[in-house]
Amino acid sequence: MDPATIRTRFAPSPTGYLHVGGLRTAVYAYALAKHGRGQFIVRIEDTDQKREVPGAKDKLYDILKTFGLNWDELYVQSERVGSGIYEKAAKKLLDEGHAFYCFCKPLTKDEIKENRKSKIQFRDPCHNLSKEQVEKKLAAGEKPAIRLKVPDGEFISYIDFVLRKKTSWKTDVVDDAMLLKSDGFPTYHLAVVVDDHDMKITHVLRGHDWLPSTPIHLLVYQYLGFEVPQIGHLTDIQDPSGGKLSKRKGNVAVEQFIANGFLPEAILNFVILLGWAPKDNREMFTLSEFVEHFDANGFQKSNPLFNTQKLLWFNGQYLRQKSDRELLELLRPHLKTKADDPLLLQIIPLAKSRIATLAEFEPLTRFFWQRPAPQEQISTTKEYLADALAILSKVGWNKEAIEADLVNSANSKGWNRGGYFMALRLAIAGSRISPPLTESMLILGKEEVI
């Protein structure tokens, strides 16, 4: 296939926030297309309108733009229903005996779960209704859904371009999936096939949880006479505590990571390596660099682990690449303080190497504008502080003089220098962790310190 013809799509449903796994799918689909100078399509799959969350579509658009995933074409499934393309496809399947009218009451979620547990295919009671029975029900005004008529005793297979293996199913274990609901709206199983064909999608990238639906889609492609695109299923992202990453185990929303002080470029870099590996040991990638180095053979077959410490490491790397002025602008949404810019611009260089997220800045540096609460001190600490106070009251107010006099005093008395300076840090910053102590004292000023 000519690389220039590659067309990929990211097809989220507006049913809530964008999961980090969804972002990963979008990033990989974008890179696959753009590496081959192809097109990246965004398609909002909103045919399940009962589950749609107001405003979710716009949030999806905003997040994709935030990460630089600019699309070449944008579609909304519900806006295409009126064109009749899904109904036309369903009618073709009906006319050719590959689908049937279903008059049954829709299954409840619990019933669907039980069917899945049994690992036995779902054969709808209407699967073998006679023509006369169907006509009688239609004449009585019953509004049917349309289901795929899956044959028994056949095999269907495909080669997964991510997992790099052939997978086969016997049709006996494939459900009579619903294709068109009684209200005329298509289900995912019909719409995804019709849309991918209509939009000339050449490569489908999606999560591993869609693998069980693949035989249904392959049958629909076959019965509609459509060319099957290359299909790849990404491995599941694993939670550090075990099992698949999910909202039940904590935060997985992209927008929440941003709200918590993670930079988009750090999240992007982290996500790139959640299931893909470069040919060398390189770790740092911008989006354009990822597109340039992208190779589908880099997809990993094993499930990646969501390592929060690695995400924090990436974020720290990107924070330290920012200029002080850039970092100040990024910090503003996370600051409650009224401290002025000149003061903040003095503090930022001291704190930059000691924070992993934007949200960590204010707790670390609050003592610059808010005195820490007095702490109960043991006798040794009181002795250290009394000594330091005497020295700081007389010393010349510069870094070299302050450090030299404090060190000399602690040494002359045989004190532990670590304990001596920790007592001073706790008194000034109110915490064992703070920006460099001497530089912090210089910013605070002699009068405030003593």
Question: How do residues 341-394 score in pLDDT, each as one tens digit?
Answer: 999 999 999 999 999 999 999 999 999 999 988 766 566 789 999 999 999 999
pLDDT at residue 250, rounded to an integer: 63
Average pLDDT, rounded, for the chain = 92
| CA distances, 115 to each of 144, 150, 167, 181, 245 (Å) | 22, 16, 22, 20, 24
pTM beyond 0.85, yes or no: yes
What pLDDT sits at residue 107? Answer: 62
Mean pLDDT of all residues in 257-276: 98
Q: Please state, in angstroms and rounded to a whole number, the distance separating the CA atoms of residues 41 and 318.
A: 29
Half-sphere exposure of 132 (CA within 13 A, CB side): 0
Q: Return contacts of 330-339, CB within 8 angstroms, 24+ apart.
A: 330/263, 330/358, 331/358, 331/361, 333/358, 334/261, 334/358, 334/359, 334/361, 334/362, 335/361, 335/362, 336/362, 337/362, 337/366, 337/369, 337/370, 338/369, 339/368, 339/369
Say what the pLDDT of residue 380 is: 75
Q: Which domains does the chain have, with CATH numbers?
A: 3-76+189-234 (3.40.50.620), 83-180 (3.90.800.10), 247-320 (1.10.1160.10), 327-449 (1.10.10)
Residues 302-341 have pLDDT tens digits of 999 999 999 999 999 999 999 999 999 999 999 998 889 9
- For the beta sheet containing 99-102, the strands, ordered from the edge strand earlier in sequence to the opposite edge, are 99-102, 145-148, 178-180
Number of helices and strands in the chain (H, E):
19, 10
pLDDT in tens, 39-80: 999 999 998 878 889 999 999 999 999 999 999 999 999 999
pLDDT of 105 reads 79
Q: Which is more confidently placed, 105 or 450?
A: 450
Q: What is the pLDDT of residue 412?
A: 96
Active site residues: 247
